């Protein structure tokens, strides 16, 4: 997919004060871009900083450093008035289906609000648009005067989707949109998100730890670990052959219904370290089976080691090459050629 860049995030940093002059380094230098019409997944376990990245992009929290170029404008330092004018172009779908809807507003007003505040439309036109988007999410005008608690979680999430697409945004940040839903409803919502993305040419930043969901919806994946992106690549290639040791561990933890599809388990030692005291070098040092001394000295840059595959690992090229050969010709004894 070759298009223009809609969003370009460079060296994004977010530190939260943790008292005693210490900081939680939630995001420590993240760069990525999203093209028009592209769905990028930001994957990682809890505490990896993926949600923080999403919130910084929409300026729901203030980034500590870095630039966020959206539609050619730097959002990261923009004043609130100008930012509000940009809101119709970038929207968000929240994790909590019920709690992200104001319980005292009828659905019509909830969905209308972003249009009312961001678009130049008469009340009649707005009503038409609200009904149109409610139809798009497979609800109808019957929902207009009802209140959020009168709907199921799946329906509430569709109301959230209707609100997010009401202003015809280019970018939607989806913050774990299905993690609070039942499995059956999850599939329905993912299908809806995929359809809307194709129909409307939306760009998604899909924040999730649900790898099966990511695989269904996204074109490209960026994997985060402790505030850094460790690997990016197309979804197909990434799931076929993850190159970073953390990606390997993460992807091999997915449970597939078909036992033959299961990748061999790749297990990391130990627990995720505290984001207050990060190791000086690679954040995975100490847990990684490939680690050498150099890994603890400096953090590796994201490097393109295969076409379209960028990996932040000193050892990835070597280890992956060894692996491919190994699987073809059997394991050689260490040290021999």
Partner 1 sequence: MTTQLLPDTDMRPAWPTRGRGEFRSFLAFARGRPGFLLGLVIVAITIFLAFFGPMVAPYPPERAIPGAGLLPPSAEHAMGTDVSGMDVFSRVISAPRIDLTIALSATVIAFVGGVFLGVVSGFYAGSRGIGRVASEAIMRGADIVQAFPVFIFALALVGFRGPGTENVIAALAFLNIPYFLRVTRGAVFQVRERPFVEAARCAGNTERGVAFAHVMPNALGPALANISPGIGFAILLSAALSFVGAGVPKPTPEWGSMISIGAPNMMTGQWWTALFPGLALGVTVLGYALVGDGIQDFMDPTKRR
* Least spacing, CB of residue 164 vs partner 1, in Å: 8
Determine which residue in the list 29, 106, 279, 286 makes contact with partner 1, applying CB under 8 A: 106
Binding mask 5-44 for partner 1 (x = CB under 8 A): ----------------------------------------
Binding to partner 1 by residue 92, rule CB under 8 A? yes
Does 153 help bind partner 1 (rule: CB under 8 A)? no
The only residue of 11, 74, 85, 201 in contact with partner 1, by rule CB under 8 A: 85
Work out how close the CB of 157 gets to partner 1 at its nearest, in angstroms, rounded to a whole number. Answer: 12
How many CB atoms sit inside 10 A of residue 168's CB?
Answer: 14
The string of DSSP letters for 158-180 reads HHHHHHHHTT--SEEEEESTTTT
Report how far residue 104's alpha carbon sits from residue 73's, in angstroms, rounded to the nearest whole number.
Answer: 35
> What's the order of all strands across the beta sheet hosting 73-74?
23-35, 5-17, 65-70, 73-74
Q: What is the DSSP string of 101-141?
A: S-TTS-HHHHHHHHHHHHS---HHHHHHHHHHHHHHTT--G
The yes or no reply on residue 94 touching partner 1 (CB under 8 A) is: yes
Q: CA torsion sign, 140 to 145 to 149 to 150?
A: negative
Rounded least distance, CB 264 to partner 1, Å: 39
71: contact with partner 1 by CB under 8 A: no
Nearest Cα neighbor of 228 from 321, 142, 313, 328 is 313
| Of residues 246, 240, 262, 249, the one with CA closest to residue 308 | 240
What's the rounded Cα separation, in Å, for the pair 135 and 157? 14
User: Distance between CA atoms of 59 and 78, rounded to whole angstroms?
Assistant: 9
Chosen residue from 7, 27, 43, 130 binding partner 1 by CB under 8 A: 130
CB of 204 to partner 1, least distance (A): 15
CB of 70 to partner 1, least distance (A): 14
Closest CA to 300 of 287, 285, 289: 285
What is the closest distance, in whole angstroms, from the C-beta atom of residue 184 to partner 1 in the complex? 24
Smaller CB distance to partner 1: residue 125 or 332? 125
Strand 220-225, strand 23-35: pairing: unpaired
CB 55 within 8 A of CB 66: no
**Which of 114, 154, 233, 300 forms a contact with partner 1 (CB under 8 A)?**
114
Q: Which DSSP category does 68 fall into? A: E
- For partner 1, the closer CB: 141 or 252: 141
Task: Give the binding-site size for partner 1 (rule: CB under 8 A).
Answer: 47
Contacts (CB under 8 A) with partner 1, residues 159-188 = 160, 163
**Residue 117 Cβ vs partner 1, minimum distance, rounded to whole Å:** 4
The answer to whether 36 and 71 have CB atoms below 8 angstroms apart is no
Q: Which of 301, 306, 284, 311 is nearest to 221 (CA)?
A: 311
Among residues 103, 270, 307, 333, the one that binds partner 1 under rule CB under 8 A: 103
Which one of the spans 67-75, 79-87, 308-316, 327-335 is the region binding partner 1 (CB under 8 A)? 79-87
Q: Does 81 bind partner 1 (CB under 8 A)?
A: yes
Using CB under 8 A, pick the residue from 10, 33, 109, 209 that binds partner 1: 109
Binding positions for partner 1, rule: CB under 8 A: 55, 58, 60, 79-82, 84-85, 87-88, 91-92, 94-96, 99-106, 108-109, 112-114, 116-124, 126-127, 130, 144-145, 147, 149, 160, 163
């Amino acid at each position: 997919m070759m298009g223009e860049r809609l969003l370009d995030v460079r060296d994004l940093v977010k530190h939260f004060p943790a008292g005693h002059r210490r900081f939680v380094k939630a995001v420590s230098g993240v760069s990525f871009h999203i093209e028009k019409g592209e769905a990028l997944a930001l994957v990682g376990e809890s505490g990896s900083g993926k949600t923080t990245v999403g919130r910084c992009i929409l300026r729901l929290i203030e980034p500590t450093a870095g630039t966020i170029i959206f539609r050619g404008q730097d959002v990261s330092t923009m004043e609130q008035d100008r930012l509000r004018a940009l809101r119709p172009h970038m929207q968000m779908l929240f994790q909590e289906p019920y709690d992200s809807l104001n319980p005292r507003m009828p659905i019509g007003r909830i969905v209308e609000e972003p249009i009312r505040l961001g678009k130049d439309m008469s009340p009649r036109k707005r009503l038409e648009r609200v009904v149109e988007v409610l139809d798009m999410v497979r609800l109808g005008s019957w929902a207009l005067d009802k209140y959020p608690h009168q709907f199921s979680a799946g329906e509430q999430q569709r109301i959230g989707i209707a609100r997010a697409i009401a202003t015809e945004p280019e970018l939607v940040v989806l913050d774990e949109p299905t993690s609070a839903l039942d499995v059956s409803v999850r599939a329905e919502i993912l299908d809806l998100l995929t359809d809307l993305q194709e129909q409307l040419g939306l760009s998604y930043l899909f924040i999730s730890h649900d790898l099966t969901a990511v695989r269904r919806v996204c074109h490209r994946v960026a994997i985060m670990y402790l505030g850094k992106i460790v690997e990016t690549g197309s979804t197909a290639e990434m799931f076929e052959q993850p190159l970073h040791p953390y990606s390997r561990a993460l992807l091999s933890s997915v449970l597939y219904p078909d036992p033959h599809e299961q990748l061999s388990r790749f297990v990391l030692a130990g627990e995720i370290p505290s984001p207050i005291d990060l190791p000086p070098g690679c954040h995975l040092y100490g847990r990684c089976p490939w680690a050498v001394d150099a890994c603890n000295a400096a953090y590796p840059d994201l490097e393109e080691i295969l076409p379209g595959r960028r990996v932040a690992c000193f050892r990835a090229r070597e280890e992956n090459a060894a692996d491919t050969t190994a699987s073809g010709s059997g394991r050689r004894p260490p040290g021999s050629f």
